[in-house]
Amino acid sequence: MPAATPPFLTRYLAGELASFFDLKPNETIAALARRLERPRVALAAELSREAQRLGAPPEAHASLELLADPQSRVVVTGQQPGMLLGPAYSLAKAMSAIRLARELHSEHAPVVPVFWIAGQDHDTDEVDHAHLLDGEERLHRLEVPLPAGVASGSVPFRQEWLELMVDQLRRVGGRPEHVADACRLVEECSRGAESFADLFSGLIYRLLGQEGLLVLDPTRPGIAALFGEVLERELAEPTVTVDAITAAGDQLRRIGLDPQLGRGHDATNLFIDEPGDDGLPHRHLLRFDGRSFSSPTRKYQPAELQSLLREEPGRVTPAAGLRPVAQDAVLPTVAFVVGPGELRYLAQLRGVYGHHAVPMPLIRPRATTVVLEPPVRRILEKYGLDYGQYEAQRERAFERVLLERHGHSDAFEEALRRLEVESEELLRRVGAIDTTLEGTVERSRIRVERSIELLRGKAGEALLRNDAITRRHLGRLESHLFPSGSPQERLMSPFSFFLKFGVRPMMDLYRTTGSSGEHLLEP
């Protein structure tokens, strides 16, 4: 059988996808050598106002002074502003950016970490909830009723949402003092919140602002105005970047990879906010027929949209295929820290960056984190497994342990050893008769080896079915490490751990995260 195609990330790190990016993963020096003229002073002034409003600590204000330096660079990462920080990888992304910024920082060329709050995103069903695992290993879905189709940065924060979140946190429970601390954290960060996204921003500042991390929400009016140049160019030639994304997608398919981004008929890389029946601005994709633009409700002439950019900054916003370019047109970005999904769609954006004359930054995969709670550690130790073994094999790891415990593992290994020895003897004899038959013998050996491995798996499954205690332990590991079948950090909120172990102790663990790689956090 042909070998499986390596994962996208593996191929990227190996340099096989270099034609889709401006820089290879290790070209840090080249990234730092670029001259980037950006509105640093104006951006720092706007972010300073926002930092003051959100209660950012002194270390964040010190980073703002560094950002205003004409030689400054930033390491940027970002995420949608999910309820209660959303999935835990938000913190992993933030720490990756913080650590990388420190690695690249120098006195004459400061590097500042920035967390981009994707407040322009209107997929409210992705941010209106949080998953937490309680002490009884029951998974809870906490949620608030956000309006559909409205960017989270444009949804006014409501006091009843705070009360609902705090009530739900208390229902999940934990150590009383930790529950009280977690609820207090949410209450304090909500005080200055004007939008739903503001709560997320406030939490990031409260938890990681002392690390010098800055928060940028592009929906804030003063910041939105800074993206005008990119949006004007996009409005002037709306089909160029769509064609570039499509062409890159075709190129990915030719090398056996599925593109992440697609564009439908007449679609552009732009959205527009229009007032809905609820009085809130609803976000709609703009389409272009060659002469005019249209949303689901009306048509727009290009000149009308150009005027909107100047008169109502924030009404016209970038879609996913333009958002990173708008980001890097305003920020002096040296590196962009991303997850695996973001890496896939960035592979289609080199032409978009080129059209807007914005250098594509160094793209760095984020670190990953896994919290190994005490029950998880005890179960892994009981079966002689580490997290890496379990992650790689899941149920198979338990099946192999059971085969070994019941004395069957040696029998399978011995069968495979004998098969190897006898196959070599057969190949030697057949080669002496007719070398063209060697392939037939080798294929037969592979089929028998697979049959033995299949039988090993079936035997392990049977032992696991008959071992109630081991099945229960496996179920507990799945609940903690792969809740609902998803990797822990992609589903569970950090508040799941705050309630059990405390906000400060858990944040001390998260701060041990490096700029890359997998990190096991053991409270």
Q: Phi and psi dihedrals of 146, rounded to 5?
A: -80, 145
Q: What pLDDT was estimated at residue 427? A: 61
Q: What pLDDT was estimated at residue 409? A: 47
Task: Please return the burial class of 421, using the count of CB atoms within 10 Å of its CB with bins 0-12, 13-18 and 19+.
Answer: exposed
Type of residue numbered 316 = V
Q: How confident is the model at residue 472 (pLDDT cuts 50, 70, 90)?
A: confident
Q: What pLDDT was estimated at residue 447? A: 72
d(CA 420, CA 449): 9
Q: What pLDDT was estimated at residue 475? A: 80
Q: What pLDDT was estimated at residue 452? A: 59
Answer whether residue 455 shows pLDDT above 60: no
pLDDT in tens, 477-487: 889 999 999 99
CB 174 within 8 A of CB 500: yes
d(CA 132, CA 173): 10
Where is 369: in which H helix or E strand? Answer: strand 368-371
d(CA 161, CA 36): 42
Type of residue numbered 227 = F
d(CA 90, CA 77): 9
Q: What percent of the chain has pLDDT above 70?
A: 86
pLDDT in tens, 8-63: 999 999 999 999 999 999 999 999 999 999 999 999 999 999 999 999 999 999 99
Sheet holding 267-275, edge to edge: 299-300, 293-294, 281-288, 267-275, 316-318
d(CA 443, CA 3): 15
Radius of gyration of the chain (CA): 27
Helix (H, G, I), strand (E, B) or coil at 213: coil
pTM: predicted TM-score of the whole model, two decimal places:
0.87
* SS (HEC) of 306-367: HHHHHHCCCCEEECCCCHHHHHHHHCCEEEEEECHHHHHHHCCCHHHHHHCCCCCCEEEECC
Q: What pLDDT was estimated at residue 468? A: 63
Helix (H, G, I), strand (E, B) or coil at 516: coil
Q: What pLDDT was estimated at residue 1? A: 35
Task: Please return the burial class of 498, using the count of CB atoms within 10 Å of its CB with bins 0-12, 13-18 and 19+.
Answer: buried
Contacts of 445 (CB under 8 A, 6+ apart): 419, 420, 423, 426
State both tokens at 478. Answer: 């799945």
CA torsion sign, 464 to 467 to 470 to 475? Answer: positive
Answer whether residue 495 shows pLDDT above 60: yes
